[in-house]
Amino acid sequence: MSARIGVAVMAVALALYIVLVGQRAWLLLASGQPIAIAMGAALVVLPIVAVWALGRELWFGWRAEQLGTRLEREDALPADEVAVRPSGRVEREDADAVFPAYRADVEADPDDWRAWFRLGIAYDAAGDRRRARGAVRTAIRLEAAERRP
């Protein structure tokens, strides 16, 4: 739930940013000075990129949550017992110990979105966010391809 609150706060902050930057861009564009017009044009592009990035991240989070919920309903989430620090993070050594099994599952069946999603969870537990996101993105792509006839 706190992640959703964080997303809502960021979306509101982005909306405020877009309004303020749009206002400044309009003033610069209307000034008639070449440098100010160039700066105003740049200020128009930045909010567009920000909206695109936020939309992409929201879509990723929504799809990842859907797949996680589906695996939970199927009772197919990782059930490994690992030590957890007081902060809630998994102990690195425990995460590294269970990781090879999930990697082997993906190597055995590279078209199984469930294996990719579990590998993403293992990467995340090991602290490798970049690979975790990549594995979950692969899971999302494979699951979408599976749903298409």
| Mean pLDDT of each 10-residue bin along the chain, 149 residues long | 81 87 92 93 86 88 93 86 71 75 92 94 83 95 87
Residue 68 has what pLDDT? 93
Residue 31 structural domain? 2-73
pTM of the model: 0.75
Is 81 among the domain residues? Answer: no
Domain count, the chain: 2
Among residues 83, 11, 86, 21, the alpha carbon closest in space to that of 51 is found at 11
Does any domain span residue 133?
yes
Determine the Cα–Cα distance for residues 26 and 94; give it in Å rounded to an integer: 55
Structure confidence at residue 8 (pLDDT): 85
Cα 40 from Cα 33, distance rounded (Å) = 10
Domain presence at residue 121: yes
Q: What pLDDT, on a 0 to 100 scale, did the predictor assign at position 4? A: 79
65 and 122 assigned to the same domain? no
- How much is the pLDDT for 11? 84
